[in-house]
Amino acid sequence: MIELSHHLIVLPILIPLITGAVLLFIADRQRVLKALVSLTGTVALAAVALLLIGIVASENSFDGVYLLGNWASPFGIVLVIDKLSALMVALTAIMAVPVLAFSLARWHSAGAHFHSLYQFLLMGLNGAFLTGDLFNLFVFFEVMLAASYGLLLHGSGPLRVKAGMHYIAVNLAAALLFLIGVSLIYGTAGTLNMADLAARIPTIEPDRRMLMEAGAAVLGVAFLTKAGMWPLCFWLPSAYSVAAAPVAAIFTLMSKVGIYIILRLTTLLFSEGPSAGFGSDVLLYGGMATLAFGTIGVLASQALGRIGAYSVLVSSGTLLAVIGLDDSAAISGGLLYLLSSSLTLGAFFMLVELVERGQDAGASVLAVTMEAYGDADDEIPEEGEGVTMPGTLAVLGICFAACAILLSGLPPLSGFVAKFAMLSALIGTGSIGVPPTAPALAVVTLVILGGLATLIALTRAGIRTFWSSIEGTVPRVLVIEIVPVMLILALTAALTVKAGPALAFMEATIRGVTGPQAYIGAVEKTVPLPSWRDLQPSAKGD
């Protein structure tokens, strides 16, 4: 990388940090100014993220290491960017812009310090993706969680307060487990730098390795709680379904933090040596259980918000199971699925708020009762009568149908391309004499059933909402609210059109992740820059 692009690595952390800090000094009554500052910072973050992923995609060598404080590894704070971390930072930044624009219609003024909390959440997310050591991963993890506590409670209300208290308690317990796991790993390996840890683990004595693996298991529980693996996911449906629409949309990325860290650590720390494959069975069977649980939850839910929340679990379960199978081709398809499902779920949570606007709280329950027992007051319309669907409902219905197609994995959109890439790799399409394993077939079956369940649930909800609505009211939707949803769906359409280059990038990403020698070597060979004193000419001149 050139010198300027090298310094771009730290900007995804600095931009939201500075923006959030500046916003704290602007009074809440100056909403227009706060919105402009926040939106400007988020757009700048998206521009930097796109530059980074462009640079990383064009680089043949791996040298994306940034030494904060100019201290050599493993003693200093290290930021590392490769294709995987650049992909996650770009996903976060690109999704943050339309979500923030959606919140400017009404939600940013529903409570204090929304914009600062939003920026600090982005800082924590980007820091978790870029950090190169476990201690600073904990720091950014806590920054992300602290901001999410305030965002979940944003807008108040008894349901949000109740879910927020559960959310805070669970995540505080996960943070405690994080510290315990990090302490055990540091006590046995003597380092928390990921590259240095990967080099030391194969040389650890067998008795100390058991303690180190115990620490990794405790650490894994914290990450799997965040990822929503069953049975650690009991908090997620209630929290995501009652959160404000833009908050729930950006929260879909938080579950992907756990997925990212698990993929990063399993391939970096446990790909070789005596501990190779550590925890893969837990990921496989836990992911399958999560996928089954999410599928049942989607079918059983009547409210659109809870369908979206359980769809997050379906997404997490699919990714965990694929990672547990340790198939590079399937994981590359899984990365495309991560990208598609995150964008779709973000759009879906915002769309739910628009669709349900103006509906009575008990409308869904009453509609289900009418479906079961019929309506005695139904009248047969006279011949020639009909109802024209208003333009707003037509646009909302098209967006809803697109989300249903994407989440269920029907062709031709990116959800189908991603699932097809995963399933074809697991089944072994095109291979000769290599039959699929029983766990792979089980995952394929669950993924197909999950898509079918999602299609049934969303079709049922769509008919009830758009075709047989009890109230018949048309929600008032602003342009600034529907355009962000359409923009995210347009991104999924672009992902469909560019599916070939996208899959090629995902395959290159997985090759880099599953071959950690480049990561380790890049961190170890990076030396501090010379200080300004070293660059001064000698006092005893020529």
Return the SS3 of 524.
helix
Alpha helices (H) along 11-30: 11-24
Give every CB contact of residue 215 below 8 A, 6+ residues apart in sequence.
Answer: 180, 181, 182, 183, 184, 185, 187, 188
d(CA 450, CA 230): 15
pLDDT at 382 (0 to 100): 45
pLDDT at 430 (0 to 100): 45
Contact indicator for 287, 323 with CB cutoff of 8 Å: yes
Closest by Cα among 415, 442, 430 to 325: 442
- Work out the angle at residue 309's Cα, subtended by the Cα atoms of residues 99 and 235, and round it to the nearest 5 degrees: 110
SS (H, E, C) 397-461: HHHHHHHHHHHHCCCCCHHHHHHHHHHHHHHCCCCCCCCCCHHHHHHHHHHHHHHHHHHHHHHHH
d(CA 317, CA 511): 23
pLDDT at 60 (0 to 100): 57
Predicted TM-score (pTM) of the model is 0.87
d(CA 246, CA 253): 12
Number of Cβ within 10 Å of residue 512's Cβ equals 17
The CA-atom distances, in angstroms, between 269 and each of 216, 518, 542 are 10, 13, 52
Q: Residue 302: is it exposed, middle or buried by C-beta count within 10 angstroms (0-12/13-18/19+)? A: middle
pLDDT at 377 (0 to 100): 44
Q: Which long-range contacts (CB under 8 A, 24 or more apart) does 171-174 make?
A: 171/145, 171/225, 171/226, 173/225, 174/221, 174/222, 174/225, 174/226
pLDDT at 383 (0 to 100): 44
Pair type for strands 65-68 and 77-80: antiparallel
Alpha carbons within 13 angstroms on the beta-carbon side of residue 54 total 8
SS (H, E, C) 274-312: CCCCCCHHHHHHHHHHHHHHHHHHHHHCCCHHHHHHHHH
Closest by Cα among 396, 491, 183, 439 to 291: 439
Closest by Cα among 16, 99, 9 to 49: 9
Q: What is the pLDDT along the chain (542 residues), one digit of tens a residue?
A: 446 667 788 899 999 999 999 999 988 888 889 999 999 999 999 999 998 888 888 765 555 888 887 777 777 788 888 889 999 999 999 999 999 999 988 887 777 788 899 999 999 999 999 998 888 999 998 899 999 998 988 877 888 888 888 888 988 998 899 999 888 888 888 888 888 888 888 888 888 888 888 888 898 898 998 888 988 888 888 888 888 889 999 999 988 998 999 998 888 888 776 767 777 888 999 999 999 999 999 999 888 889 999 999 999 999 999 998 888 888 999 999 999 999 999 999 999 988 887 555 445 544 444 444 444 444 444 444 444 456 778 888 889 999 999 999 888 888 899 999 888 888 875 444 456 788 888 999 999 999 999 999 999 988 888 776 545 566 777 888 889 999 999 999 999 999 889 999 998 888 888 777 777 877 877 777 766 555 556 555 44
pLDDT at 278 (0 to 100): 79
